[in-house]
């Protein structure tokens, strides 16, 4: 069988703490034309590092120390820089994770695409027609009108389609897609995946698909390789990996993923986090062993070879850990949603709306406005979790900003504990500060990098109304860290020293400092690894039990909303199109838009066809 990409015993090394460590160890893979190989694992697993080895774009302190890597019969590790550059873009193309970062904001789409076609040798007179044709292939409507636009004038999904069109423009033999759908809403994700797969099948291109979403990989890929801390720990046909996972880490990833159907089971979150590169030298054996719930004494020493499990399915693990008996971890069912202790809502929104722009210019011309939120009403009672779902641009985040008083509404009323806070008056601000707190999507930008955790989580105690001395703040900080599952030694650390999940826990701890009655959470688990996501979701459920806190949870992930929220509100183009008990809405959606959203989610059953036909 012809092989486009092949790696044997590939290792990448660096120096950490004065010692040489392998960042990637013993990577074996092969990829044939027209096939899709998925690289799956948490952040830090080494997925993107493999892509960087292919591009020969490793960070300065990293180098390939062992093994071989061949593309189409050529040694990618020894070819000249000139030959390598000739391959990139023409025979090997990349679809990056962040389309707005990958595209130059100062150049139009036509200019950037034209430069790419020039490099491919397309004559100048043919380029514009080729660009229009390529954009039409990725289902961009009226592509002629997009040529003179800049990236910031397009949505994230549109920018991603432009990059897909550029990747396929040279009909490459290999495409490396690095998290191409991360943080996209479910509809856009389904469309992007459908486009990539259709074009990949039409051209016979081999595809290396990098993702942290094991369920998505199962529907996209022919074969899956699961990575952990630079090690290949399991590999095999996609359906075999999902239906019969053997390595404890693969099982843990699946157990941490909320389901869209079936019984609601408490997510099994892994303790701690993936080891840092500096710790690799102290882990000569299985690097997953410190977190493994069924580790064998032989794991720490390692030295075991990959075990064949039949039909091309292999796992690198101690034989005792692969047995079904040692891996039987019974999931616990979630308790039914508690009855609210009070019928009086903590938040009541009546006919709330927000319109941007509109009116007349200085010269009298009328300008069209945008209805970000059409008149809507909702309520959240103490201890009640309410989810708000919809595609990007549906009005979800605008609703959150209105509730928090970050923007004034165009019409309607907002009441907290029965008190009107619609107008931005000093009294309304005090009521909001006492009752509401918001947790933002990006934990990194929400934290002051110059403050240690102890200062961050007790920031509310610096206001004149809550000013406290150092001893009181320290005591409160310790209590908040305990409540949010953070170790006491985190108190003196700075945000740069924390993982993404730890930063989000710090954000939640800070929001809890004033004992709010309602949390407003805007996409707070978007883009997080599934194991970290499970920790955050379980933390929110535990906080509801301990504090009777209400939650307005905004998300594009329907499975997460089903796991967390008793009620759901579905928004489209600023309007509420459906609402009700989450289980009832998801089991029997009445509105076509809700049905379309649910159809766009990768099914729990890998044998069920997906994705939906792209628009």
pLDDT given for residue 500 in this prediction: 73
Burial bucket for residue 106 (CB in 10 Å: 0-12, 13-18, 19+): exposed
Percent of the chain surpassing pLDDT 90: 56
pLDDT given for residue 270 in this prediction: 82
Asked if 342 and 335 count as a contact pair (C-beta separation under 8 A), the reply is no
Give the three-state DSSP class for 354: strand
- Find the Cα–Cα–Cα–Cα dihedral 278, 281, 282, 284, rounded to 10°: 140
Nearest to 53 by CA among 210, 192, 226, 193: 210
Residue with tokens 């590999």: 235
pLDDT given for residue 323 in this prediction: 63
Nearest to 258 by CA among 458, 540, 607: 540
Residue 181, pLDDT > 80, answer: yes
Helices (H), 304-388: 324-327
Q: What confidence category does residue 614 fall into, taking pLDDT thresholds of 50, 70 and 90?
A: very low
Distances (CA, A) of 355 to 171, 251, 405, 449: 45, 47, 15, 35
* Average pLDDT of the segment spanning 47-74: 93
pLDDT given for residue 360 in this prediction: 62
* Average pLDDT of the segment spanning 133-155: 89
- Find the Cα–Cα–Cα–Cα dihedral 399, 401, 402, 405, rounded to 10°: 160
List, in order of start, the domains of the chain with CATH numbers. Answer: 5-91+172-327 (3.40.50.300), 99-171 (no CATH), 347-441+518-599 (3.40.50.300)
Residue 126, pLDDT > 60, answer: yes
| DSSP string for 535-565 | HHHHHHHHHHHHH--EEEEE-S-HHHHHHH-
Residue-wise pLDDT for 272-327, tens only, equals 778 888 889 889 889 998 888 888 777 887 767 888 888 899 998 887 777 654 45
Nearest to 381 by CA among 407, 412, 417, 351: 417
* Average pLDDT of the segment spanning 448-457: 94
* Average pLDDT of the segment spanning 523-535: 83
Q: Is 476 left (phi over 0), alpha (psi -120 to 50) or beta?
A: alpha
Q: What confidence category does residue 63 fall into, taking pLDDT thresholds of 50, 70 and 90?
A: very high
The values of phi and psi at residue 518, to 5°, are: -145, 135
Report the DSSP beta bridge partners of residue 225: 39, 235
Residue-wise pLDDT for 540-559, tens only, equals 998 888 888 999 999 989 99
Residue with tokens 């999902």: 242
Residue 600, pLDDT > 80, answer: yes
Report the DSSP beta bridge partners of residue 227: 232
pLDDT given for residue 606 in this prediction: 87
Tokens (6 digits) for 367: 């300008």
The span from the first CA to the last CA of the chain, in angstroms, equals: 35
Mind spelling out the 3-state secondary structure of 76-97? CCCCCHHHHHHHECCCEEEECC
Asked if 217 and 211 count as a contact pair (C-beta separation under 8 A), the reply is yes
Asked if 481 and 489 count as a contact pair (C-beta separation under 8 A), the reply is no
3-state percent breakdown (helix, strand, coil) of the chain, nearest 5: 35, 25, 40
What is d(CA 597, CA 599) in angstroms, rounded to the nearest whole number? Answer: 5
Which residues in 139-171 are b (16+ Cβ under 10 Å) and which e?
bbeebeebbeeebeebebbbbbbbbbbbbbbbe
**Bigger pLDDT: 302 or 158?**
158
Residue 615, pLDDT > 50, answer: no
Residue with tokens 């069912």: 333
**What average pLDDT is seen over the chain?**
89
pLDDT given for residue 324 in this prediction: 53
* Average pLDDT of the segment spanning 91-103: 87
pLDDT given for residue 22 in this prediction: 94
- H/E element holding 11? strand 5-16
pLDDT given for residue 458 in this prediction: 95
* Average pLDDT of the segment spanning 323-346: 69
pLDDT given for residue 604 in this prediction: 86
Nearest to 556 by CA among 519, 601, 520: 601
Residue 387, pLDDT > 70, answer: yes
Within 10 angstroms of residue 485's Cβ, the number of other Cβ atoms is 18
């Amino acid at each position: 069988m012809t092989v486009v990409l092949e790696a044997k015993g590939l290792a990448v090394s660096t120096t950490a703490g004065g010692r040489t460590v392998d960042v990637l160890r013993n990577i074996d893979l092969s990829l044939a034309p027209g096939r899709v190989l998925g690289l799956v694992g948490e952040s830090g697993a080494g997925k993107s590092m493999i892509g960087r080895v292919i591009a020969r774009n490793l960070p300065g302190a990293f180098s390939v120390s062992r093994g071989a890597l061949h593309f189409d019969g050529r040694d990618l590790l020894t070819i000249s820089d000139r030959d390598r550059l000739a391959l990139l873009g023409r025979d090997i193309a990349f679809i990056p994770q962040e389309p707005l970062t990958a595209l130059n904001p100062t150049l139009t789409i036509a200019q950037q695409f034209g430069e790419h076609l020039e490099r491919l040798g397309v004559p100048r007179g043919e380029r514009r027609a080729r660009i229009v044709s390529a954009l039409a292939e990725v289902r961009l409507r009226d592509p002629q009108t997009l040529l003179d636009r800049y990236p910031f004038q397009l949505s994230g999904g549109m920018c991603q389609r432009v990059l897909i069109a550029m990747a396929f423009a040279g009909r490459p033999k290999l495409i490396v897609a690095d998290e191409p759908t991360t943080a996209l809403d479910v509809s856009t994700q389904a469309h992007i995946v459908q486009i990539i797969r259709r074009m990949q099948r039409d051209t016979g291109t081999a595809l290396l698909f990098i993702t942290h979403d094991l369920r998505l990989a199962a529907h996209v890929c022919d074969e899956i390789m699961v990575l952990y801390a630079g090690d290949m720990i399991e590999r095999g046909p996609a359906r075999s990996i999902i239906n019969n996972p053997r390595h404890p880490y693969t099982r843990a990833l699946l157990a941490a993923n909320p389901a869209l159907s079936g019984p609601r089971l408490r997510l099994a979150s892994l303790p701690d986090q993936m080891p840092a590169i500096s710790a690799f030298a102290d882990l000569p054996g299985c690097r997953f062993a410190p977190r493994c719930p069924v580790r064998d004494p032989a794991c720490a020493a390692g030295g075991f070879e990959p075990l064949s499990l039949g039909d091309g399915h292999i796992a690198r693990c101690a034989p005792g850990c692969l047995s079904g008996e040692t891996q039987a971890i019974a999931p616990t069912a979630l308790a039914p949603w508690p009855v609210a202790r009070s019928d009086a809502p903590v938040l009541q929104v009546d006919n709330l709306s927000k319109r941007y722009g509109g009116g007349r210019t200085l010269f009298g011309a009328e300008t069209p406005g945008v209805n970000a939120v059409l008149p809507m009403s909702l309520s959240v009672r103490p201890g009640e979790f309410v989810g708000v779902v919809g595609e990007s641009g549906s009005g979800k985040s605008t609703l959150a900003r209105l509730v928090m008083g970050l923007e004034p509404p165009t019409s309607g009323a907002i009441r907290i504990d029965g008190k009107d806070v619609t107008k931005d008056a000093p009294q309304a601000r005090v009521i909001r500060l006492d009752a509401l707190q918001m947790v933002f999507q990006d934990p990194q930008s929400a934290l002051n990098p110059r403050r240690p955790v102890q200062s961050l989580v007790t920031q509310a105690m610096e206001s004149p109304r809550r000013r406290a001395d150092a001893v009181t703040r320290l005591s409160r900080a310790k209590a908040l860290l305990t409540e949010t599952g953070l170790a006491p030694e985190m108190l003196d650390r700075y945000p740069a020293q924390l993982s993404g999940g730890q930063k989000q826990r710090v954000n939640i701890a800070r929001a809890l400092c004033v004992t709010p009655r309602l949390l407003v959470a805007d996409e707070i688990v978007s883009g997080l690894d599934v194991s970290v996501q499970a920790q955050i979701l379980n933390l929110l459920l535990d906080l509801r039990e301990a504090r009777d806190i209400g939650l307005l949870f905004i998300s594009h992930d329907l499975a997460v909303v089903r796991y967390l929220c008793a009620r759901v509100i579905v928004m489209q183009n600023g309007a509420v199109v459906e609402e009700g008990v989450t289980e009832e809405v998801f089991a029997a959606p009445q509105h076509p838009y809700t049905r379309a959203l649910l159809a766009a989610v990768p099914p729990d059953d890998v044998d069920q066809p997906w994705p939906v036909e792209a628009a």
